[in-house]
Amino acid sequence: MAKRGVALFLLLFLGITFFLLKEISGSEEGQEELKKPKESGEKIVSSPKDIREKISVYVFMGWMWLSIFILIYILRQKISEADRILRLKYFKGNKDNS
Amino acid sequence: MGKLDLGNWLDERLGLKLISRFLKEKKVPLHRHTPWYYTGSAILLFFTIQVITGFMLLFYYKPTLELANKSVAQIMNEVPLGWIIRSIHSWSASFMIACVFIHLIGIWLAKSYRKPREMTWLSGVILLLISLAFGFTGYLLPWDELSLSATKVGTDIPRSIPVVGIWVTKLLRGGEDVTQDTLTRFFGLHVSVLPIFAFLLIALHVYFIQKHGMSVPVEIEIKNEKPNELPFWPNFVYREMIVWLLLFGVLISVSILFPPSLGEEADLMAPAPEGIKPEWYFLFLFQTLKIFPAKILGVEGETVAIILILIAVLLFALLPFLDNKPAERKGKFVSLIAYLVILYALFMSIWSLM
C-alpha cells in the first residue's frame, strides 16, 4: 500500500514537473513582445506576462503546496517516531535507576 | 578511499564529530512559550532567501542614475521569472523584519535578556537596526519617484539632530542632496557593508545562544522548576522544519499573488509626489514625527521628536541592565511598558495609513 502511494506520488511529481518545465520554456516565446520600450509615465506591474506563464505559475503554486503538505505529513511521522524513542529512553533510564 | 575513511578524513580536519555531538546533546526547554523559539530560525530562513535572491538580482541590477530603474524594469520584463525573484526578495525582507520584531517582543515579554544573556540581547538589537538599514537602503535601489522622495525625507530626518545632524545627512547622501553618490552609497551599503556586519553579528548572536543555552521565561524560573526538555536533534529540528515549510509556502504564494510594482523613473528635478509613505516598519516613526508641533518651548518639534526616539532606542538596547530584577515590581512595570509600546506602534502605524 505504502509502495503504491510512493509510486503515485512520484508519478504525480514527475508529471507536474514535466508540465511546468514545458510551460515555462513555452512562455519564452512571448518575451519578444515584452521587450518594447517603456512609455514615459508608465508604471510597470509585476505579474505573469501571458496566459501560459500565468497558468504555469499557478500550477507551480499548487504543486508547491501539495509537496509542502506531503513533506509535513512525513515530518509529523518522523516527530512521532523521534518522540517515541525519546520516551522509551526516558522510561528505560528510570527503570535502570530504580 | 572508503566511505568511513572519508568521514574520518573530514572529521580530523573539520571536527565534525564535535558538532554532531554538540547537536545531539543540545536541549530545548519545553513549555507553553516554546513556539517563540521558532521565530529565531525563521529570521535565518528569510535572511538566507534574501541572500540568494539578492545575488540573483545583482547579476542584472546596475546602480547608476540612467540604468537603475531600467535594469529593474529589465529584471521584471525580460529576465525569465525575474519578477518573481524580485517579488520574493521584497516580500522576504518584510517577512524577515516582521520576524525580528516578533522575536524581540517575545524576548522582551519573557525577559530572556536577563543575566547572563545581556550580550545576546544587545547583538539582537543591533541586528534589528541592521535589518531596518537593509530595508531603508534597498528601498532607493529601484530609483523610482517614490523611492527617491522617501529617501529624501528619510535622509533629511537626521538633520534635526543637534551638532552632528547636518554632517550625518551629508554622510548618508554623499553630499547636499540625493544624487548618484547617494545611490552608489546605498548600493554599497546594501550589498556589501551591511551583509558583512549582518553575517558577523548573526554568528556572534548564535554563538551567545549556544554558550548560554536557550532561556526559559522568568515565570518558570521563579517557580524553581526544571522544565521538560526536548533534544534539539532531531525532535526540535523536525518541528522547526514544519514551520520553515509553511513560512516558505506563504512567502512564495504572497510573492506570486501580490508582486511589487515599479514606479516611473525618478527625476531629480521633479517635485515630490503627494502622500509619500515609508515601508510599513517605519510607519510608526513617521507618524510620531508628524504629530509633533513645529515648535516646543522654542525648540524645533522635529528635533525634540528625534532626540526622544534616540533615547527610546538607547533605553531599549539597555533593557537588560535597566530591568535587572525581572521578577519584582520593577520587572512588571517594564512588561507593562512593553505592552504599551506594542499598542503605540500598532496604533501609530494604522493612523499613518488612514
Could you state, in order of their start, the residue ranges of all structural domains in chain B? 20-267+275-353
DSSP string, B193-216: IHHHHHHHHHHHHHHHHHHH----
pTM (2 decimals)?
0.85
Q: What is the pLDDT of residues B158-172, one digit of tens each?
A: 988 888 989 999 999
Over residues A16-29, mean pLDDT: 52
Cell of B166: 547636518
* Per-residue confidence band for A37, with pLDDT thresholds at 50, 70 and 90: very low
Which amino acid appears at position B149 of this protein? Answer: S
| B263–chain A Cβ distance below 8 A for any pair | yes
pLDDT of residue A30: 42
- Are B187 and B63 spatial neighbours (Cβ–Cβ below 8 Å)? yes
Q: Which CATH number applies to B20-267+275-353?
A: 1.20.810.10
| A90–chain B Cβ distance below 8 A for any pair | no
**Nearest Cα residue to B121 out of B48, B35, B201, B30:** B201
* Per-residue confidence band for B247, with pLDDT thresholds at 50, 70 and 90: very high
Tell me whether 0.90 is exceeded by the ipTM.
no
In chain A, which residues have their Cβ closer than 8 Å to the Cβ of B262? 43-44, 46
| B232–chain A Cβ distance below 8 A for any pair | no
In chain A, which residues have their Cβ closer than 8 Å to the Cβ of B259? 45-47
3 state DSSP class of B103:
helix
Nearest to B259 among A42, A47, A71 (CB): A47
pLDDT of residue B315: 94
